[in-house]
Structure 1
């Protein structure tokens, strides 16, 4: 197998022009976002955020229609050659819902980051915008490498299954995890090797200021806004450790994996401004999400071990995963809203 075949089949999964078209489309959406809709600093209201999220969700649904009617799936990624588009679209929406649910944890941690660095609300959108661009790049790397490994060595899925079951179990019974930003090794590394200002200067990530040696020479300093951006990127990488194995447990098609991830990530920024004030109302979502992760891990063992290899049980079709995901996440959200119905969001400064 030559390098080009390995890249185009196992890494990319689809012709390069299709990937370039998708990246161009995402680039256009980001330009509309920052260049037209949110081209000025300012506080984004919950209502505007809801409209933005609804727009991205509508595009995600429209892309699902493309997957069903136009997309040409490669049969090597699916259980059978029957109804490939039906399998692909079900897996796409399962991945989208799963990644969107996992984004709730991101919202909580991102809020802690903004509080820790005292990022004014009018600059938070700028940090999240560049954070989304970083996430698009890093997810492409992780998913591409993951696709190459999973499709070349299918047994790796069993490692993913064990990891997802362990993660879901830990999320279910491990209690609340405390995030200590001041002890983060990445943050310590950056502070040790860069000059960092004490305060945020407008929406700038970098500014020019006199050298600390008192010579009066102007040099480049990073601002706390840049440190906040780095931590947002670190958080996305950390959460990708959970989400990427989870989505590969749903589908091995790299194009479906990546597109479902990116559409969910695009809505994350709007979701943050829409839900940041009420994130405590979704406190029971983690239980539904943990059960989904355990279910997906068990599904790998069921389909690839008990069904394909041992032929002891029938194959679990993708629509059952989608139905279970909808039921568990929808039930957890509904229960959370019902249990916290008497709580009102805390006012923000």
Structure 2
């Protein structure tokens, strides 16, 4: 599989991600368990976006120096488009996270810990899925058509299901966990399990972390094929994915009080998936320019957000 990922690029990327996570964890621990304010979430969100854009700028410059200005522009645009797609699809994750937190009545001060664990798990999981996908695409080109059809059908399904809240009571994983895992009735601080009368009991926090992890697996199955329609370079796919995921915690706290205001966004996300699915299906007939893809994704998400704000959902 062809990639621009040199040892220098992979090392630089790994260093940036590890340092960013360490800073995030240190500051979170320094602040202690607390309710994240809208102002704090806004600054963190802007910081994660700024970090991603700084990496994009450096990648564009480096690729331009190594492979020429045309290649640098293409690589920079591929990263930016992939980042925007993954960031947009991450919003759907957040809506489901909100539902899970509400269902289990997770204390505000514990939400940060759950999300940090979820983000670290998501990075590891997505790295595995991305490299597996890249290897499959390198050997079997026809898998692109499978991905394309899957995304198109997923988009159609999302449109049909838009406006309908998923019923956690019917979730098979949750039903199995609550039926087979011995649980405490309430939370015990940050503990995932406790010993009670010589028996190991798991707290609801453990169930929440499992549900968050499984949710990310499900959404990764949608989002990773989507970015392979933008580029088949595993370095760009992974870096844009990881930078989008890094800001998930801050985005959650930014949107948790505003989710109802973006009631039309699921339609926009569905249209993006359908567009990318069609792009994949047409790959050998007509390759849609990356600039057009970026414009379509940005315009679709921006329009549905604007319409959601202009036409609030009726109570």
Same-fold call, TM cutoff 0.5: yes
Between 1:20-29 and 1:136-145, the stretch displaced more is: 20-29
- CA deviation digits over 1:153-204, x for unaligned, max 9? 1211111111111111222234444423344333344445543211110112
1:142 paired to 2:129? yes
Deviation at 1:20, TM superposition (A): 4.5
Which residue does 2:61 correspond to in 1? 69
Q: 2:158 aligns with which of 149, 153, 171?
A: 171
User: Residues 64 and 73 of structure 2 are in contact (CA less than 8 Å); yes or no, is this contact kept in structure 1?
Assistant: no
- CA deviation digits over 1:67-125, x for unaligned, max 9? 201148999xxxxx982221111111111111111112111111111112121001100
Between 1:201-210 and 1:233-242, the stretch displaced more is: 201-210
Alignment length (residue pairs): 314
Deviation at 1:60, TM superposition (A): 0.6
Which residue does 1:260 correspond to in 2? 240
The change in CA–CA distance for 1:16 and 1:285 in structure 2 (over 3 A counts) is: same
Whose Rg is larger?
1
1:47 paired to 2:26? no
The change in CA–CA distance for 1:15 and 1:221 in structure 2 (over 3 A counts) is: farther
1:126 paired to 2:113? yes
SS at match of 1:83: helix
Give matches, 1:21-170, under 5 Å.
21-39=12-30, 40-71=32-63, 83-170=70-157
- CA deviation digits over 1:179-235, x for unaligned, max 9? 233443333444455432111101122223223xxxxxxx44321111101100011
The change in CA–CA distance for 1:194 and 1:172 in structure 2 (over 3 A counts) is: closer
Which whole-Å CA distance do the structure 1 matches of 2:65 and 2:278 have between them? 25
Consecutive unaligned residues in structure 1, runs of 5 or more: 1-8, 76-80, 212-218, 308-314, 344-349
Between 1:187-196 and 1:62-71, the stretch displaced more is: 187-196
The change in CA–CA distance for 1:18 and 1:189 in structure 2 (over 3 A counts) is: farther
Which whole-Å CA distance do the structure 1 matches of 2:162 and 2:105 have between them? 27
Between 1:202-211 and 1:242-251, the stretch displaced more is: 202-211
RMSD: 2.4
Which residue does 1:316 correspond to in 2? 288
The change in CA–CA distance for 1:112 and 1:90 in structure 2 (over 3 A counts) is: same
User: Residues 112 and 249 of structure 2 are in contact (CA less than 8 Å); yes or no, is this contact kept in structure 1?
Assistant: yes
Q: 1:306 aligns with which of 285, 306, 313?
A: 285
